[in-house]
Structure 1
């Protein structure tokens, strides 16, 4: 399989995942009799909207990270092919834990499920980077091993934050959400500066 074909397939899976996320948002106030009832219904639906926005951003961050991985790649081998399949499987299931979390935002099991999928995605991303870092023949000539040791260190932040978030869910759900939010905005900032330093496409 060519690199371009694998990228196209991956983009399709990401697109399906973010599309399914919006299906978790239900129209509020379908039984409202007055404007006050509708306003109340909209207010009560905030977990759905918030989970959608956050999950969309999370999938977006993983998509940008995936694009950067393929910017490093020159060739695709059997390991890359199957590692990508498992990575996409974690991305594709994202709407399910997002829906569960939207329904039960303070339940530890819902938080653990959500964090578990995020942990899988972030860990698979780290394994991707580590494999490319250790197999020079797969990489583009422009790959900078020194710079990407730092990228590997940055990639390790996500799994750690999601693991801590899952652990905290049993006694402090708010702390869990703090770890998840920190990881998200940490990656948004880091990806922004990495993109400025090295464009994803030539």
Structure 2
């Protein structure tokens, strides 16, 4: 039974649907004000009150987009999907589906530590399953589909970055709650550095 393989195109299509639904649901967590509220408080007061929600939307949307692009890149190197890879993918999607809830939980209690730590945990676990998928594909394909050693290290470095940033941010939330909210910026900065480093390395190896 372990040698059963599954249709790669169906798994990619299903995964794309889950990512797109989760990313779309993020906007639904921002309450739309009614006319009476706008008349009473004014447009800018209403929008100001929703700043945490918009921050959560933008951060979660962009981070989910990074994981979706990583998923697309990785699946390009997969010849066939076996049971282990299938279940790693399913658990990855489970925590992607959870993200709209954890985002709403966090922004609904923006300055509380517990909800933010839960949010960081959710994103760190998505990163963990992303890394486990990459590690398994690298081992399984073993260079058969153009996944060179340098490319494999590039994928792993980006995945580890995602895990560490959210773990560090969650830990810092207990001692430095305000600062911890801005640690996510390093996620994007470090990705740029990783990309630059491995781009040079790939050019040298040509």
Q: Fold conserved (TM > 0.5)?
A: yes
| Residue number in structure 2 paired with 1:168 | 172
Q: Using a 3 Å threshold, how does the CA distance of structure 1 residues 58 and 146 change in structure 2: closer, same or farther?
A: closer
Answering whether residue 23 of structure 2 is matched by residue 18 of structure 1, we say yes
Answering whether residue 139 of structure 2 is matched by residue 114 of structure 1, we say no
Deviation digits for residues 119-154 of structure 1, max 9, x if unmatched?
1000111111111122236x6531112331243133
Q: How does 1:1-202 map to 2 (within 5 A)?
A: 1-28=6-33, 30-32=35-37, 34=39, 37-136=42-141, 140-187=144-191
Q: Using a 3 Å threshold, how does the CA distance of structure 1 residues 36 and 108 change in structure 2: closer, same or farther?
A: closer
Aligned length: 196
How many Å apart are 1:90 and its aligned residue?
0.6
Q: Which runs of 5+ in 2 are unaligned?
A: 1-5
Q: Secondary structure at the match of 2:162?
A: helix
Q: Using a 3 Å threshold, how does the CA distance of structure 1 residues 140 and 18 change in structure 2: closer, same or farther?
A: farther
- 2:56–2:107 contact (8 Å) kept in structure 1: yes
- 2:121–2:170 contact (8 Å) kept in structure 1: yes
Q: What root-mean-square deviation, in Å, do the aligned CA atoms of Structure 1 and Structure 2 show?
A: 2.5
How many Å apart are 1:188 and its aligned residue?
6.5
Q: Using a 3 Å threshold, how does the CA distance of structure 1 residues 4 and 140 change in structure 2: closer, same or farther?
A: farther
- 2:169–2:184 contact (8 Å) kept in structure 1: yes
TM-score by length of 2: 0.85
CA distance in 2, matches of 1:83, 1:156: 16
CA distance in 2, matches of 1:157, 1:77: 27
Deviation digits for residues 63-94 of structure 1, max 9, x if unmatched?
00110110121111110110000000010110
Q: Using a 3 Å threshold, how does the CA distance of structure 1 residues 176 and 194 change in structure 2: closer, same or farther?
A: same
CA distance in 1, matches of 2:197, 2:10: 28
CA distance in 1, matches of 2:58, 2:73: 23
Q: Which runs of 5+ in 1 are unaligned?
A: none
Deviation digits for residues 34-88 of structure 1, max 9, x if unmatched?
4763321221111111211111111111100110110121111110110000000
Q: Using a 3 Å threshold, how does the CA distance of structure 1 residues 157 and 80 change in structure 2: closer, same or farther?
A: same
How many Å apart are 1:187 and its aligned residue?
3.5
